[in-house]
Structure 1
Amino acid sequence: MTLDHTANLEQALLSSFTHHKQQLLGRRVWLACSGGRDSLSLAHLCQHLFKEGKLPFLPQLLHINHGMQQANAAWAEQVLQWAEQNNLPCQVLKINLIKKTEQEARQARYEAMMSVMNHQDVLILGHHQDDQVETLLMRLFNGAGVNGLRGMKDWSSKKSQAQEGSQKSIFLWRPLLTVSRQQITQYANNENLNYIDDPTNVAWQSRGSGNEFDQNQLNDRAWLRSVLLPHITQRYPKAKQAIARTGQLMQEASVILNEQSKADLSQSLMTDRPYCSVLDINQLTELSTARQSALIHSWLAPSATELPPSRRLVEEVLSLVHRKDSDHQTCLYWDSGVYQYQIRRYQHKLYRLWQSWEQWLQLPPATQQVNLDSQSEIAPRFSLKPSNTSFEWSLTGLSNLTFGIQQQLILSSNTNTAVETGLELKSAKLLFQPLPRTKKIALPGRVGRKSGKKLLQALDLPSFMRPSVVLCSIQLSSQVAEFPLLLITPERILALQSQFAPSIQQLIEDNNLLSEVRNL
């Protein structure tokens, strides 16, 4: 019996190590050790295989002292003593929980361990087949779909919740997902491991002369383990293996669905920036209803650190997609746990916006001028809007624009074809200002001039972007009216009808004149 259980654990760990050998190469390995039978058995097994030369690393143990129970300090000392006796490096990390919930404790544990780990280090976890079964059942009872029912992966990545600039990513490795709790318990007992039993996970409470369930003292996971699963396995002895197998099948199905969803998304995306992503509704509605739903689900939470959207939100977004009226004011709000989003529609486009980005768009651009005869060097980035802590909007290539206009003015003056005779280059300047709603503008390739709402509609600009339109004009002298040259939005630059239009358009097409937004 001893050899069988030892062989099962060894085989599972070595098989998983072989499968992930390339991913482990060159990375530092840590092990989350609570001192319970699962993590302590895994630590003991790693040490055993390292001594035998079957594992090329000896993990460093990390123990978390939650401070939630009186025994936490004693448990930390017990883990430290065991690690010292077995020549394993170990650190104890203390955390202070504000909300003493299971979810809060789990996230705090990860954040504490990631604080001492390096970027892209590996953290081994002692999760096993019974943990997987409990996870699948909890997600099933919460109405999870295919992605939720795939359960825990044996290899995955996790990002810290720190600010973007200092965000750290690590890999989580669960090599014992094919091993049962019973096999681990047998291994721990056979090796005489002095493991810790957390009372919040213990199913039986002593009462008088007998043992009875104290269900009120159990959390959800412990209730599943202690109350529900014994009834299920009594009727279906192989239920745990079957449920775990279903999780594996769901993982395979999830891969297929995600690949299809990514392919559909790539066909429908028009713009994809973190702060502003745009879908082509015409492309989206060519898909089946199920594929539309899957695409919207993944689009609403683009990163692994974000919460998945609810079914209700996906349905509300799809309802917005299929609206037939001309109302473009509807706004859906979505908090992914990382970013606050607005979901909006305009014409045949669907927008996913950071709320901070939409608020930034409402800030007016700066009013400023640039003298064309200035001898001073123009900065590579000409700021179009007062910067704040979130975004910076600038025009790159302004020096190319001014140089081209200067050359064209000189040429026009030499050939007596200037817009107004007697003009001198030294009096010319470029003016940048928020687009005046009353100014009539001639768009390229269009007959007549437009102003106000009709102009903005012709530009295909949604209402939330309209405050961030800059008009660049040239004024050849103080006695001459301004001539509009181009319109600048955070998304593009449009050359207007003027004698300078061909050269400006060439600068735009060659990417020598760009409107750029940077997320700071």
Structure 2
Amino acid sequence: MSLLLHLQQQLSTLSRYHSSPSRIVVAYSAGIDSHVLLHALWQLRERHEFELSAIYIHHGLSVNASIWQQHCADVCAALGVDFQTAKVTVDLSIGKGLEAQARQVRYAKLVELAPQNSVVMLAQHQDDQLETVLLQLKRGAGPKGLSGMAEYFSRTKPINSYQQVHFFRPLLDISQAKIHAYAQEHHLRWHEDDSNKNTDFERNFIRHDISPVLMQRWPHFAKSVSRSARLCAQQQSLLDEVTLEKLDNLRIQKHILSVKGLLALSESWRIQVVRMWLDERNIISPSQAILMQLSSELLAAADDANPVIRWQDWQFRRFEDGLYVIPLAQEITPDVRPLALSLPVGLPNMLGVLSLCSHKASSKQRNVLPVDNIEQYPVSVEFGGFSRRFTPHDAHHSKPLKQWFKYWRIPPWERSSIAIICQQTSVIGLLIKGTFHPSKTVSVEHTKKCDEPVLSYYIQYQSNPE
């Protein structure tokens, strides 16, 4: 079957995943694979009634990157295809490999740029799938890893969480030999990435030193591996259906799982459910060893314990019957920061900014904490010191803050980030997740709206200062 006929069939297959897209975007790199995909789709665009565009991601990792960018622009101009380009930065200081980090920032930018109701086409082919499966075997992967690259997957846009970008790999059953034949038939020109010959990269080592030997011995080896990957993907899909049912039964809240429910599962199912839970939030799962630690060191810990399991930028925490996964954050140490007029105070860990304002400084402020007599009784924002007593506006008596936090069921790791607003030695309010909770001594009505404040001053919170 010709590459063009195969691609035509794949466009029809796409309807299994996605209603006919009004726009197809090619992730264009100036290499032969994406150039062939772009050209073939260009030939089919009118028959299948879709708009075609291309995006080039400039990683800045090669001195030739700008040359490749211009080549992509020229090809798209000649075809009459809309073209877009964007630069990204690959930060190697975070400890990930160059290939993995470049791939991560590339996909993130594609998700950001892809228009609504579009499908991003990726040009990976059968030989790429072979390399992927061999790499997964080398890493000791299970069925999910041995499924290789998925034919179709989705990512959520970072700004509009309800909008998704869909990716499709229509050439996974096409060999690179067919891609080269198509390029020669249509007299296409392309650029080779100079890093593709560097066998220090694992994928290049397999491509140049391993795959040719396997293909010489077994000419249909790539096709067989592709079929095995597809079978593994089918089995994984069935497993995911059952796992999702178990996961849904364990949800206390959207991102919190029941500890008792997890402990009722077998070790294998427990690990499977947690992996899916992490995958839902695009969190890279920890190693099998860490996931096995989860049962013995965290889930089975005493009720009054505060265990932590960390990996990369994440941590598992437990509170009451809830299992949480949260980002690692710098510990907030006890601190006192005075509040003065016209001198905003930045809160630690990028929690926002507090400002002490007069009623003349701004009007119609919401979510504020009124204060008075600041000349006689200075105001400060403090962290730590949970033994101090506090009387919430809707309570009849005071208790130490730590008892209120326990009563309000605030997890221990969130308590250090609560800003305590003090006037002299009295706690007049708390800032919890961006919302003020005034004491009984503060007029509650004025915390909701200050169109015409009765009191002279108020504290204002700003979450994202410019």
Q: Same fold (TM over 0.5)?
A: yes
Q: C-alpha distance in 2, partners of 1:79/1:466?
A: 49
Asked whether the equivalents of residues 358 and 464 of structure 1 are also in contact (C-alpha less than 8 Å), the reply is no
Asked whether the equivalents of residues 159 and 168 of structure 1 are also in contact (C-alpha less than 8 Å), the reply is yes
Does structure 1 residue 352 correspond to structure 2 residue 333? no
Q: 1:57 to 1:357 in 2, by over 3 A?
A: same
Q: 1:81 aligns with which of 62, 74, 80?
A: 74
Does structure 1 residue 342 correspond to structure 2 residue 321? no
Does structure 1 residue 224 correspond to structure 2 residue 224? no
Partner of 1:91: 84
SS in 2 for 1:201: helix
Q: C-alpha distance in 1, partners of 2:160/2:77?
A: 37
Asked whether the equivalents of residues 8 and 179 of structure 1 are also in contact (C-alpha less than 8 Å), the reply is no
Equivalent pairs counted in the alignment come to: 361
Displacement after TM superposition at 1:200 (Å): 1.9
Q: Percent identity?
A: 22
Q: 1:319 to 1:72 in 2, by over 3 A?
A: same
Q: C-alpha distance in 1, partners of 2:415/2:303?
A: 21
Displacement after TM superposition at 1:199 (Å): 2.5
User: Pairwise mapping of residues 194-213 of structure 1 onto structure 2 (< 5 A)?
Assistant: 194-202=189-197
Partner of 2:273: 295
Partner of 1:206: none
How well do the aligned residues superpose, as a CA RMSD in angstroms?
Answer: 3.9
Q: C-alpha distance in 1, partners of 2:240/2:64?
A: 44
Q: 1:464 aligns with which of 384, 400, 412?
A: 412
TM-score by length of 2: 0.66
Q: C-alpha distance in 2, partners of 1:321/1:300?
A: 17
Displacement after TM superposition at 1:32 (Å): 1.4
Q: 2:29 aligns with which of 34, 38, 42?
A: 34
Displacement after TM superposition at 1:461 (Å): 6.2
Q: 1:65 to 1:285 in 2, by over 3 A?
A: closer
Q: 1:272 aligns with which of 253, 256, 273?
A: 253
Q: 1:170 to 1:326 in 2, by over 3 A?
A: closer
Displacement after TM superposition at 1:358 (Å): 13
SS in 2 for 1:354: strand
Q: 1:136 aligns with which of 130, 133, 137?
A: 133
Q: C-alpha distance in 1, partners of 2:12/2:163?
A: 26
Q: C-alpha distance in 2, partners of 1:117/1:266?
A: 31
Q: C-alpha distance in 2, partners of 1:265/1:60?
A: 39
Q: 1:252 aligns with which of 234, 240, 243?
A: 234
Partner amino acid, structure 1, of 2:132: T
Does structure 1 residue 174 correspond to structure 2 residue 172? no
Partner amino acid, structure 2, of 1:279: S
1:164-183, Cα deviation, whole Å (9 max, x unpaired) = 56896311111111111111
User: Pairwise mapping of residues 321-400 of structure 1 onto structure 2 (< 5 A)?
Assistant: 323=300, 328-335=305-312, 340-344=314-318, 346=320, 349-354=321-326
Displacement after TM superposition at 1:185 (Å): 0.9
Asked whether the equivalents of residues 147 and 251 of structure 1 are also in contact (C-alpha less than 8 Å), the reply is yes
Q: 1:319 aligns with which of 296, 300, 305?
A: 296
SS in 2 for 1:432: coil
Q: 2:395 aligns with which of 428, 432, 446?
A: 432
1:19-52, Cα deviation, whole Å (9 max, x unpaired) = 22372535422111212111111111112223xx
Displacement after TM superposition at 1:190 (Å): 1.7
Asked whether the equivalents of residues 123 and 172 of structure 1 are also in contact (C-alpha less than 8 Å), the reply is yes
Q: 2:244 aligns with which of 228, 239, 262?
A: 262
Does structure 1 residue 126 correspond to structure 2 residue 123? yes
Q: 1:69 aligns with which of 62, 67, 85?
A: 62
Partner amino acid, structure 1, of 2:296: S
Deviates more, 1:166-175 or 1:350-359: 350-359
Q: 1:240 aligns with which of 222, 230, 234?
A: 222
Displacement after TM superposition at 1:118 (Å): 2.2
Structure 2, unmatched stretches of 5+, are 336-350, 354-391, 417-431, 434-462
Q: 1:43 to 1:149 in 2, by over 3 A?
A: same
Determine which structure has greater relative contact order: mean sequence separation of CA pairs < 8 Å that are 6+ residues apart, divided by chain length.
2
Displacement after TM superposition at 1:345 (Å): 5.7
Q: 1:179 to 1:345 in 2, by over 3 A?
A: same
Structure 1, unmatched stretches of 5+, are 1-6, 203-215, 364-387, 391-428, 439-451, 469-488, 491-518
